[in-house]
Structure 1
Amino acid sequence: MARKGDRAGGHIADVPFVMGSSATREVIMNDSDFLARRFEEHRAHLKAVAYRMLGSLAEADDAVQEAWLRLDRAETGDIDNLGGWLTTVVGRVCLDLLRSRRQRREDPLDDRLPDPVVTEEVADPEHRVLLADSVSLALLVVLESLNPAERLAFVLHDLFGLPFEEIAPILDRTPVAARKLASRARQRVQGAAPAPDPDPAAHRRVVDAFLSAARGGDLTALLAVLDPEVTLRADGGKALVGGMKVLHGAAAVAGQLDTFHRMATLTTTRPALVNGTAGLVTTVEGRLFSIVGFTVADERIVEIDILSDPDRLSRVHVDLAVKSARARR
């Protein structure tokens, strides 16, 4: 008869299984605690995978939780590589969620921004893992345009280095087909997602110049920091008139100078890292009002992403930024 203690690879296989004994309950509890500790070692990595797959922090947490539930039910003695097994499970869960979105026709590219990750200049370890490999908002927006299979193949291979032999079973495709999916996705990403400047200090200087121009209502100074082909995406949420607003070109974006001026003068504005690069957080009377992300290339702003949806802002983790902003009032 199989013993419950066998499920963690037999490390307690010599302990007799006696129904109802306190010793057995302690062994099982210790076994469960060991499994939970092993899972926690991989949690940050799994959330990073899910975030890139889904663009939603809440859904990423749900996907990671589902991976834990499946691990807790699995015969763990048969798992040789726990990290690889968990990554595969998270990949499958995310693929199902993306396919479900498409069937319900939810979250089209022009309807919402991906969830931003907002941190202080020095991020905590979990956020450092989450933001590794420059997962910019610009990249996440492009990933939203891929079909689910393309997105999974690209994310798992190009961003996390999984071989196509491991990706193929998740997609129910051959490794050759998985490779083609990743290649097609790569071409779209390279053609659409601008590469940001690698110098954080230069990026911050450009963002500071934007803020200075906005505060002063200086159109000439604003145009000086905007790329001619700049794109502005402003997500105010479905509850607000207009919802997602997208503008292209320096003239169109500079036409929002009055809006930028009000934002810069009527709110408390402070610098923050938005998906690992220089951005802004604004508050009104201590309450989060907006998160602004910038993509800077060749010392010009090529993309501006503004999230002001009150419902989504209430779920974004920006506690440190808000507290600091409140302290400066």
Structure 2
Amino acid sequence: MSKMTDERTLIFEQNRQTLEGIAYRMLGDLSDARDVVQETYLKWREVDFSSLHSPRAWLITVCSRTALNQLQSARTRRELYVGTWLPEPYLDKLSQDPSAQVELDDTVSVALLLALERLSPPERAAFLLHDVFDLSFGEIASILGKSNASCRQLATRARRRVQEQRPRFHTTPEEHHKLLYAFISAARQGDLEQLMAVLSNNVELYSDGGGKVEALFDILQGANQVARFFISIFDRYHQRNIAVQTLMLRFNGVPGILIYENGQLATALTIDVYAEQIHHLYAIRNPDKLSDFPAKS
């Protein structure tokens, strides 16, 4: 392997995590994001990087444009998606800097990714590239092919719409973990009163089976309805002699739970928490979206 090839590979690998982060937040799909990174790499192999003023800027530009192009087809696929669509889970890559970790966690939350789905592709790109990846509006203008002022307006409009959808209060990882554990324990024990205590009155349950496994077709709302639904699920496990194991694991920036049925991974469950209650539950059951997790307990 030549020195030039070594350097080319090193530069790309130094930026791989950033590129995957951009593509994942743009698309909400880890498999598609990795395809975008691979396409970026193939283009990178053909360019004379020694002539580039900033190889990192070139990589981010190509990756962002490729993700934008893919987002158009992804949105079309989601219009045909069976049932509720949820982002593919993103396993945490822990930072050594606690303050940076909090910021990173917030930018891959399911709540944020769902809020981003309501934006136009240019709004989504401008918001992410500026607010998450700290690019200047001049750099974003070059990527999107728009003026600085237009990109600033896109980011401002996107930021306002995102803030309308996101929780106003943050919770600590310890509080999040405590509520998640209390919820799953009460569900397993069939304790309706305890479940109602940890759920907000207007709690919403999102369930994504992708038409491949059993899942709720629509969003289930209300503490009583959601509590009774989970009690019925664990009661059915008991009636059918299905052995259930759970594993706590961080993904999308917060503690989550993997639920195994007879040793096989069936569900990745995570929650939104604020004001000491659970406000949203996200149950990802589509097997195509669970491939990054341990398949067996």
Question: Same fold by TM-score, threshold 0.5 exceeded?
Answer: yes
AA aligned to 1:312 is K
SS of the counterpart of 2:86? Answer: coil
Q: Is the partner of 1:233 in helix, strand or coil?
A: strand
Q: Tell me: CA distance 1:259–1:55, structure 2 relative to 1, closer, same or farther (3 Å).
A: farther
Out of 307, 316, 320, the residue aligned to residue 284 of structure 2 is 307
Alignment-derived partner of residue 184 in structure 1: 157
1:73 aligns to 2:56 (yes or no):
no
Provide the C-alpha distance between the structure 1 equivalents of 2:168 and 2:20, rounded to a whole number of angstroms. 24
The residue correspondences of 1:266-281 to structure 2 (distance < 5 A) are: 266-281=243-258
TM-score when normalising by structure 2: 0.88
Kindly tell me: are residues 103 and 293 of structure 1, through their superposed partners in 2, closer, same or farther at Cα, counting changes over 3 Å?
A: closer
Determine if the alignment matches structure 1 residue 293 to structure 2 residue 261.
no
- Which residue identity is paired with 2:176? H
Residue equivalent to 1:282: 259
- Structure 1 residue 32 and structure 2 residue 2: aligned? no
Of 161-170 and 106-115, the range deviating more from structure 2: 106-115
Specify which of 187, 191, 213 is matched with residue 186 of structure 2.
213
Q: Which residue of 1 aligns with 2:65?
A: 92
**Shift in Å at residue 141 of structure 1?**
1.1
Q: TM-score if structure 1 supplies the norm length?
A: 0.80
Does the 8 A contact of 2:82 with 2:211 survive in 1?
A: no
The reply to whether residue 152 of structure 1 matches residue 119 of structure 2 is no
Quick one: structure 1 residues 290 and 181, their matched pair in 2 at CA, closer, same or farther if it must change by over 3 Å? same
Q: 1:98 to 1:109 in 2, by over 3 A?
A: farther
* CA-atom RMSD in angstroms: 2.7
Contact 2:270 2:281 in 1 (8 A): yes
> Which structure has the greater CA radius of gyration?
1
Equivalent residue number for residue 6 of structure 1: none
Shift, 1:89, TM fit: 1.1
Secondary structure, counterpart of 1:292 in structure 2: strand
Distance in 1 (CA, whole Å) between partners of 2:181 and 2:210 is: 27
The gaps in structure 1 that reach 5 residues or longer are 1-25
Q: Taking every aligned residue pair, what percent have the same amino acid on both sides?
A: 37
Q: Quick one: structure 1 residues 105 and 268, their matched pair in 2 at CA, closer, same or farther if it must change by over 3 Å?
A: closer
Ranges in structure 2 where 5+ consecutive residues have no aligned partner: none
Is 1:132 the equivalent of 2:107? no
Instruction: Give the whole-Å Cα distance in 1 for the aligned partners of 2:252 and 2:78.
Output: 27
